[in-house]
């Protein structure tokens, strides 16, 4: 079944009717394989598929891709006529296969919530809200995201109700602008490097624009080390217990667990000391000195061992 398309049996090619508009095709697949999955060897995959083909209106005026749209849906690639899975051919809009799996070709789903407003969206895409800085290059603020939106459109550029807060909860990654070996300003590839990929809760306050600067990060879990940050500034302490050596009965000496702990970012939350009779004593205020190698200090009692509870503030 086609919308704005037909199949030319003589030419054995799909063709557009109106070159300006989008075309759609509904396929009931009784067997075979999906384009790009031929190497899997699964040739009995049944399903219902909705395909979309771009017309000229998919591209702005002056975009060279606009002039490449012809009557025929497809193009020659490496000397072979190709129709599926390419930008000038049929691309996936929605699929359900034999295994119950669903695949959508767009940014995600909208959930209207049986009358609950504003709406929720499950979304995967690139930030499109622009910047408050005139002329700022998109490569300086655009990022890829994968998460849940409430009162925000796919792309985070607008919302159902501008006078209400908008929220985002999910993963954020820097774009890999060298995904094809050279600088590609239009890249859509998420870098997913551990030092540029985080889990974030973002908020766009009511009444404000949806620009990059207005989307404030309220909470962040760093992909690099799993540390958590509130409002992008204050680290939420994660406590680590380190066994200390007892020196001269009343003093302790503790080495840092690894190189990420330094005298600049380490502080003592508490100390648990084991007395000679086996009882445990917890202390809060500790007289301690932080060195490039560790911490030493005074316990003020006769201890058999001690555990130092440390955390970081940077």
- Please report which confidence band the pLDDT of residue 204 belongs to, taking 50, 70 and 90 as the band edges: very high
- Please report which confidence band the pLDDT of residue 42 belongs to, taking 50, 70 and 90 as the band edges: confident
Report how far apart, in Å, the C-alpha atoms of 184 and of each of 139, 180, 301 are: 10, 7, 65
**70 or 235, which is more confident?**
70
- Please report which confidence band the pLDDT of residue 127 belongs to, taking 50, 70 and 90 as the band edges: very high
Predicted pLDDT at 287: 87
User: Model-level pTM?
Assistant: 0.74
Question: Average pLDDT of 83-101?
Answer: 91
Task: Supply the mean pLDDT for the chain.
Answer: 91
Q: Is the pLDDT of residue 75 over 80?
A: yes
Predicted pLDDT at 33: 83
Structure tokens at 2: 């086609």
Q: Is the pLDDT of residue 278 over 80?
A: yes
Q: Is the pLDDT of residue 314 over 70?
A: no
Please say whether the dihedral angle defined by the alpha carbons of residues 189, 95, 149 and 157, taken in this order, is positive or negative.
positive
Comparing C-alpha atoms, which of 18, 23, 17, 27 is closest to residue 3? 23
Radius of gyration of the chain (CA): 29
């Amino acid at each position: 079944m086609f919308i704005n398309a037909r199949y030319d049996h003589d030419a054995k090619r799909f063709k557009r009717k109106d070159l300006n508009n989008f075309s759609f095709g509904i396929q009931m697949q009784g067997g075979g394989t999906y384009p790009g999955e031929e190497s899997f060897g699964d040739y009995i995959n049944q399903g219902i598929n909705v395909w979309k083909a771009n017309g000229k209106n998919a591209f702005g005026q002056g975009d060279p891709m606009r002039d490449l749209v012809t009557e025929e849906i497809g193009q020659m690639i490496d000397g072979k006529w190709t129709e599926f899975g390419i930008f000038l051919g049929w691309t996936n809009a929605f699929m359900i296969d034999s295994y119950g799996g669903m695949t959508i070709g767009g940014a995600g789903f909208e959930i209207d919530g049986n009358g609950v407003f504003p709406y929720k969206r499950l979304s995967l895409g690139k930030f499109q809200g622009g910047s408050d800085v005139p002329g700022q290059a998109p490569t300086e603020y655009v990022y890829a995201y994968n998460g849940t939106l409430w009162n925000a459109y796919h792309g985070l550029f607008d919302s159902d109700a501008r006078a209400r807060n908008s929220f985002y909860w999910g993963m954020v990654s820097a774009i890999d602008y060298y995904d094809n070996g050279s600088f590609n300003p239009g890249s859509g590839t998420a870098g997913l490097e551990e030092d540029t990929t985080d889990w974030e809760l973002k908020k766009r306050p009511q009444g404000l624009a949806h620009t990059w600067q207005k989307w404030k990060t309220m909470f962040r879990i760093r992909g690099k080390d799993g540390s958590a940050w509130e409002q992008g500034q204050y680290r939420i302490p994660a406590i680590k217990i380190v066994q200390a050596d007892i020196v001269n009965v009343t003093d302790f000496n503790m080495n840092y667990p690894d190189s990420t702990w330094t005298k600049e970012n380490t502080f003592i939350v508490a100390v648990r000391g084991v007395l000679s009779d086996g009882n445990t004593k917890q202390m809060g205020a500790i007289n301690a000195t932080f060195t490039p190698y560790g911490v030493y200090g005074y316990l003020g009692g006769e201890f058999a061992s001690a555990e130092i509870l440390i955390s970081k503030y940077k």
